[in-house]
Structure 1
């Protein structure tokens, strides 16, 4: 299984930690409903989350969707923003992806009680980031496993490109990953299709296509 551990970066600086935790729960529910999971996405202890996937493609996609969903909540489209509703702080996370066996002790608890190499490698991956946001992968180096160097090269390039996108472009990327057309995105944002097309050319389509092609590799 490909395991994912996420951790909020700079959580002490959040103005409303209770609202932040609600945002995380909402985000995990949305992401967990949109892609196949081998083990549910859920908060664990403190500021951490966890989840499991059958493929590296789904694991990497989950980390990107979580990032974009959290950004969406903090910076929603103008037409969906309500003046009487306080938007949550932007929550920034770091993610560790691991691969290995997982031993579940109690499936009905929340969080699930478990252990095993899958979680140890995910912990090693997130620790490799230090206090920085981003995504790293640690897994076994054998013929049947994804290349650690190749996966991390993709993740570094992907996350670096997302960093260059503004809030609107990140919202466009999220909708593009869900298969929305440029016309639908333009209607949501209240802008022209030409403006959306320009944003796609400046990085939105590159991230979407890279993530899709990575899933087929």
Structure 2
């Protein structure tokens, strides 16, 4: 077995959705789009209910995927993610997987959910756990510190700012975004500066595979 970055995600408060058919259609479309933007070992796919999962060669790529999924669903839907690092194994011909990597991802998403119940971290949506004895991956303290700062910033963005961030993450220019949103280029630039969007994008790009930077 080889260690990989495992990712489990789910929709926050999905049971309260008035249109679950729309939710699943939107989620499937977003996952397909994000799969084409990153390099998963196993593509993100809906497993059961409102949960989805995928695997990545690096923790950085898994972290990138979590942001891309979130900004495409926000503000209509919000998502929670758990990233694990560890070995996985395929159990059957249907491709069902198990192993320490998945247990770590499950522990991580549970940790993110618990943290969101505390006043100090109610905006946290992503956590990272390394399986016991796993080799490689990334330092959990460093990754989780970065996730705390990123999630706090993203959770406080307005709908318009998320639209700008979504475009920047897709490498659209500020001029193109201004035209698409029907606002001035100066307004986009001011929003990028005031909301720290350039820093979010810079951190996101630093996690890309070396050949994609």
What TM-score, normalized to structure 2? 0.86
2:119 matched to 1:116? no
2:159 matched to 1:167? yes
Q: CA–CA distance in 2 between the matches of 1:134 and 1:48?
A: 14
Tell me how far 1:92 sits from its aligned partner.
Answer: 1.3
**Is there any run of 5+ residues in structure 1 with no aligned partner, and where?**
75-89
Instruction: State the superposition RMSD in angstroms.
Output: 1.9
Given that 2:55 and 2:62 are in contact with CA atoms closer than 8 Å, whether structure 1 keeps it comes out as yes
**Is there any run of 5+ residues in structure 2 with no aligned partner, and where?**
117-123
Given that 1:200 and 1:206 are in contact with CA atoms closer than 8 Å, whether structure 2 keeps it comes out as no
Tell me how far 1:145 sits from its aligned partner.
Answer: 3.1
Q: How many residues align?
A: 197
Given that 2:6 and 2:53 are in contact with CA atoms closer than 8 Å, whether structure 1 keeps it comes out as yes
- Secondary structure at the aligned position of 1:15 is classed as coil
Indicate the residue corresponding to 2:121 in structure 1: none
C-alpha distance 177-113 of structure 1, shift in aligned 2 (>3 A) = same
Tell me how far 1:93 sits from its aligned partner.
Answer: 1.2
Indicate the residue corresponding to 1:183 in structure 2: 175
2:76 matched to 1:96? no
Indicate the residue corresponding to 2:136 in structure 1: 144
Q: CA–CA distance in 1 between the matches of 2:180 and 2:190?
A: 16
Given that 2:82 and 2:105 are in contact with CA atoms closer than 8 Å, whether structure 1 keeps it comes out as yes
Q: CA–CA distance in 2 between the matches of 1:193 and 1:30?
A: 27
Q: CA–CA distance in 1 between the matches of 2:203 and 2:40?
A: 21
